[in-house]
Structure 1
């Protein structure tokens, strides 16, 4: 498969993005930490707040990265931007407006997988990137597609059943798209997207079989 850009151009987009939006990366990381804490210590408004955070992250992906930067080297970025914005709007619609998304940490295999994905996205992914020789501003920081997608699927692993499958669809789609970078561009840390895809497909296939039930959780 031939890409319309080189590896240097790919990392050059990261550099341009990081330099232009600094220090927004810290704000996005803070949002991710807040969402993680809300899931670990749920409140009545955890679903609304966590959904709002996921919506912000995906709108950011579409507008502040794909459209504003990645489109300069890849025409498909316009489609990626549209899909990301749709994903963000779904989180806002289903979780904030309709209040159909709730999140809670439990002693289940699904929650364990979620914790692993969140830790990978926030800690292992940047550490692996640095080990691979990428330093800031060439570093794929949180808020860029792949670490954000892995984090999102991790958070979705804590969904309380029943939940709408539409909230899971876009992150799973991006897992399948983004994982290609691990092979075509040598971004080995993006292999984490394959694990996220496996978890996401499970969420799509079994939306009502969680050990946590919306009306029966402790």
Structure 2
């Protein structure tokens, strides 16, 4: 079980949002720039996307888990380390290595990517506000909160047209599972949706990574 109740979780988010205001705007801007750079399709754009995503994960790890959540959760420092590690992995794999190009993959992957990104940018705060009546100060916003950052990352990884790097999706998948557990533990039914989206995105990445290899092997065997 979780060491706090739903009201405490919302209070933590409220304290965090108040403390970092107006950095929400910067987080949203970085997220929008990362999405916009997909259009370029160049390796340079891929490097910048990796850097921006890395910054968002590292910030969330340090400021949210290492800061606001620390007094309330015994594993907050460990969670902070996991988020910082994910940020460093993104920077290393996408920025320093710089071999990944982003672009429109079409099909189910493209539709899934749009759904993930739109939910991260707008769905998280607006659906919570409309359906649960949560205060503006207690919502999760893209760029500065774990759930939206997880969905944004998975959505962008789906926009890698060939051989998406699955290793970069493992920690986002784990956070999607944690989100589902929190939805059950806190009684926040709406959180089941981003959890399901995160798991679904990982399944799509698996299918794109290994499905293509299976088809290629079948053609070679004919």
Q: Normalized against structure 1, the TM-score is what?
A: 0.89
User: What displacement does 1:53 show?
Assistant: 1.0
Count of residue pairs the alignment pairs up: 210
- Structure 1 counterpart of 2:93: 94
In structure 1, how many angstroms separate the alpha carbons of the residues matched to 2:204 and 2:43? 26
Q: Normalized against structure 2, the TM-score is what?
A: 0.87
How do 1:1-218 and structure 2 match up within 5 A? Answer: 2-131=1-130, 132-142=132-142, 143-190=144-191, 191-204=193-206, 206-207=208-209, 209=211
In structure 1, how many angstroms separate the alpha carbons of the residues matched to 2:202 and 2:152? 11
Please list the CA deviations of residues 149-189 of structure 1 after superposition, one character each: whole Å capped at 9, or x if unmatched.
11111111111323432211111111111222222223333
- Give the alignment's Cα RMSD to 1 decimal: 1.9
What secondary structure is seen at the aligned counterpart in 2 of 1:72? Answer: coil
Higher helix share: 2
- Structure 2 counterpart of 1:215: none
User: What displacement does 1:56 show?
Assistant: 0.7
User: What displacement does 1:37 show?
Assistant: 1.0
Please list the CA deviations of residues 88-128 of structure 1 after superposition, one character each: whole Å capped at 9, or x if unmatched.
00000001111133211232211110011111111122111
In structure 2, how many angstroms separate the alpha carbons of the residues matched to 1:45 and 1:210? 26
Whether the 8 Å contact between 1:126 and 1:140 is mirrored in structure 2 is yes
Please list the CA deviations of residues 14-35 of structure 1 after superposition, one character each: whole Å capped at 9, or x if unmatched.
1111111111111001111111
Q: Indicate how the Cα distance of structure 1 residues 174 and 100 shifts in structure 2: closer, same or farther if over 3 A, else same.
A: farther
Give 5+ residue unaligned stretches, structure 1: 212-218
Whether the 8 Å contact between 1:160 and 1:210 is mirrored in structure 2 is no
- Structure 1 counterpart of 2:217: none
Greater CA deviation, 59-68 or 202-211? 202-211
User: What displacement does 1:50 show?
Assistant: 0.7
